[in-house]
Structure 1
């Protein structure tokens, strides 16, 4: 399968690397064609890895992943082009984290909206699925880094799109039973609001190799 990854930071490169490792073809997209991180990654990735602009990555991918910061995701996807995203599954991995000059963390948007919802409204012809935003990048593609059973969450409006995302997550190593479908894209609010606690826990533990494990009475 062909994937377009929007964003060349740690998350984008980690996802792109894993997809190539699994035998998929990937274009890693950045704002400009001369982005050093994207070109360095493509040089190391072999024949299945390519560098390009946001627009080229969106055009290339049968499935597109938004791995940009949530505060700039709408602008990045606008540059990718609505016509190139139309009809495609768009996996939103972003979080709208805003850090003050003194290091205090907040979210924008929060409570009554989410980046996932904003993206779906801006791109009504794409099938947006929120996923992978509640774990650190290495755990996204290697859940076995954390011993025992733990969970990942997805949210989106389209059942078939979520099934495609589940298949990708299972390729990454997530057991089918570990993936919890929270319903429509509005559930992205709660998924994004988990991140301030996640940051607090990371600072407490001193590392990011942890995750949530949901237990129920039934």
Structure 2
């Protein structure tokens, strides 16, 4: 293989992200399927994965963006189904908003419950979160069993619908089906992906995109 590889001249980390968004915008010209904040979310999903197919797969409940933003503005509790998703929502964004991000997968009560009841830890963690944390936002990027249990508990009246569920479990066993359950529930504001694609990093980036909106609002108002 011969020839010289031409690299883009980018000086700072922030410039890399800015340039990436510019490239995505140029490759998805207007009119786009989504506008405003929905486009900011979809664009960040593409930025996280380099997968433009997500633009055709992401689905927004009509109340999802407004409800999610309201929860973040109020300093909500966010529950994730993996430590990876928790780590993907940095506290440099959450702390200024007064938000808390927690994952219960390694909680001793969750481990004991899963073993006793022969369920997954994700299933048990969802039940414990509903009973103790009552998070306003759920971020599910890995475990279909967590998303299925969440939807079932809402439909059973065991928990009230959260302000937002980011439903993006990835995989081949019940991943697509669990997301279909969420989108057909009706009472839960969601941002979800049709089909098998998803993942913890992808689910986390949705919260990051929403948080950036609220942080920008506060910066304009002089609050931060």
TM-score tier after normalising by the smaller chain length: 0.3 to 0.5
Which structure shows the bigger proportion of residues in strand conformation? 1
* Superposition TM-score, scaled by structure 2 size: 0.38
Higher relative contact order (CA 8 A, sep 6+): 2
* Superposition TM-score, scaled by structure 1 size: 0.39
Q: Which has the larger radius of gyration?
A: 2
